[in-house]
Structure 1
Amino acid sequence: MVTNPTLYPPDITITMVSKTHYFRANCMGNDECPLTLDDAGGVLGHAYFPDSSGTCREIHLDINERWYFGNNPNIPKNQTSFLMVLVHEIGHALGIAHSASPNAIMFAFYQHEIRGLDGDDINAVQYLYGRKNKYDSIPKSTTASAIPKTTTTIRSTTRKQPILKNLCDIIPDFMFLAIAPEFSNYRLSIAHDMFIWKLDLNEMIIPSQPELLVDYVPTELRQYTLQHIFQSTNGDLITIVSPNKYFSASFPTIKFLDNFSIDIPDRARINAIFQSNAGRSYPFYNNMSYIEFSNDFTDVLNRGRIRDIFPGLPEDISLALRWIDGHIYFFRHATYYKFNEFTRKVVATGPFHWTLFGVPCPSEDLLHQLKTLLSKLVSVYH
């Protein structure tokens, strides 16, 4: 039987959409969806989590992806299983966040195989919606981070597994220094794409494998896109996620503590955030503006243009880091600016390279010299 959608709105709608797209009138309204897709490639789709009102939720799948609509376990190499992505997104629309289990359908990344529900998936569903019958056992745990039904509206995206890169070849999305009483020195954490590398400043040994960022953060934050992290003077990690939500987490246990708000325009695009040597917190936003807060973000001390208080910096800063040498390093894509906050001057600038922070990456000059030496040895032995 077909019902009138205006009288009986759906619980979940599933739509194939292009890069820029809109919500459905009979579900979440006529407005443009704030999330874009990237055509064929990385982002396969996104879904909106349920809210406390129980209103309709939407799933948007990339219409330009090369979809495989069959259920044969042998998915064609250059296609993506529509079934597996859709089941994953339906899980989000039901209130289930990502799982840390690589065997789960709710794992953060698309797996190129058709599979059934993992125990972690089943536990998450039963946690939210109950057992099949009274004789079933109650699930003891799940890593899938089932979201309570009172959650606010958020979204989750499904991506293809990113290519694992060498730390020495990347420009960081964000990085932060953090210390705890049990550590003899700071730990440097570097995030890029879906991975995070953690280095001890005493040893500076690059890990052979990074961790998945989704496994590193508290389960309460796994459904968000992390943008910036820094350690406050009280030792907590301040985390900013898209779209402009603020959380605190403990370090080094990485346990969720609280969410909070700060006095910044709602639609501001935060470019970077850091804490000065004096303990003041500075978000840079909308490419050219800053706000100076007290260390706990409770008091606004100043507002203005970045160039007025940080002369010599360009617009559109993408990252800021207060380093152990007392300087603040600002980044505009692949260019760094070393800033002295006491003299208020840029004291050095140039192409980004990891030796700035003592990370043992070979320089281009060294690689060139090595290649030249090897070519000479080859010519001698020939």
Structure 2
Amino acid sequence: MSKLLSALMLCGLIICQSALALDRYEAELLLQKYDYIRSSWLEYGRNATEEEYTQAVRDLQFTANLTVTGLLDNATQQRLVEPRCGRSDDVSFPHKKTGLSQRNLTFGIFRYPWSSSVSDIRDVMAAAFAFWEKLTPLRFTELIGNSEELKMADITIVFDSGYHDDSRIFDDEGGIVAHARYPGEINELQIHFDSKEKWGFNLNGSEDDGSINLYRVAVHEIGHILGLRHSTNPHSVMFAWFGQGNALLPEDEQTTLNKLYPSGEIIEMTLNHSTVTTPKPALGLPCPKSVDAVLVVQRQTFFFSNDWFWSINANGIVTEQNTSIYAYWYGLPFNISKIDAVYYHKPQQKVVFFIGKKYYLFQSNRIHPSTPAGGRPIADFCLPNSVNKVDAVFFWEHNKMTYIISGNMYWRINDENYLQSCPTDSTYPRDMSVWRGVQLPVDAAFTSVTKELYFFKNGFYWMFNDTEMSVTQVQPKLISDWSKCLPLRTGVKRPISTTSPDVNSSPSLCICAVIVYFFTIVYILSYF
């Protein structure tokens, strides 16, 4: 047994080493990516000579603080594939001679990754800018507003993926995780983060679960927009690769920064000393009287009530609470009091908001350019002009169709072709009585991450049995049981479904009633 285990461990070690091995062509591509080899050679099929290739490896090893050998050893290969900044490694170039001319700057976060909390990201960005405020006379303020208002921000922060109108293309997890421009460059004052990365939000520069620390990366990228280049010091916040553990801004780099932004002093500045971390308060979100709409996308569930929302992830952890819809969903009209309905259109990978007789398409958390300022007519969904609002929209896993509810009627559409043509022989709308036990008018309906269908009404919810075509319980549950908000006050009367399967379809109840009736008659007759 011990020999078998040893053999398996040896095989695993060999597999791991071979998986890391890069051939000459792969190594050259990565060296070109970070400008160690001229990328223009790739266009006309010219490979680096042996001397050029060896020198490129030596330059990389010098920048990465490795033993300079010119050989592509394991440590060098590891550096080539580790998560890092997308800027080229220009450590031998002189630092920028001029910094930013403004001293008071605003920053705006244009787009967030689905899998992360808005508040976590905003907290991290505020802490990252605070790091540099302690070292310079610069002052940074977050700008919050809709898409047009955010365009006024001096510094633009965007989470994106793949090609994103920038030459530094993101490559999903690992590789390039972020990049920024120097002062004076085209698209200066822009910071781009890869939305496909697994981000962590500790404010000490380190993570325990293998995720990439956003705070560490943000501090680094802000350093670039201030004018700092990459460092060869592996302990510096300006080191191109993002490892774990504390990092600092060494004295020589502070001296460079002080020339750009004179502050008159050099201080000891590390990531975990720059911010005071305080535990976040426990969730204090009271449940609203009702939920207007529910959206499930990327394993996140968003609950909307009036003009604010909160969200939970697939593990039931609250990721956002009591947040204005305008602080996240950029492009929604400001004259609305509530979201009527919302759902995720899978074929187009867009979020669809229904507000009155209009709907709005969103790509991620920003309004899609094809949506006019006043929205599009809900008649695009084959609804008659007499429909003034949509109560709920949900995708039903049972038949992979989307359902739209308005009042006591519902329509069924196929998301694959919904905006192309409306069927002339449609048997819809149909009466909601088909969905037995559902309380009308519906406040919200959605299919959960675990593919179960729920209906919401007046602070309560019912789960639906797809096979029985009926709600699963007579007594509904409080929305606090599902959505992690604080429960309603005690004594709230729960509505009773009058068409529950427990009442209409259970023969045992009928038999019990007959038995009770029989013995009651016998008891009464015994007195005569």
Query: TM-score under structure 2 normalisation?
Result: 0.34
Greater per-residue strand proportion: 1
Report which structure shows greater RCO (CA 8 Å, sep ≥6).
2
Query: TM-score under structure 1 normalisation?
Result: 0.45
Whose radius of gyration is greater, 1 or 2? Answer: 2
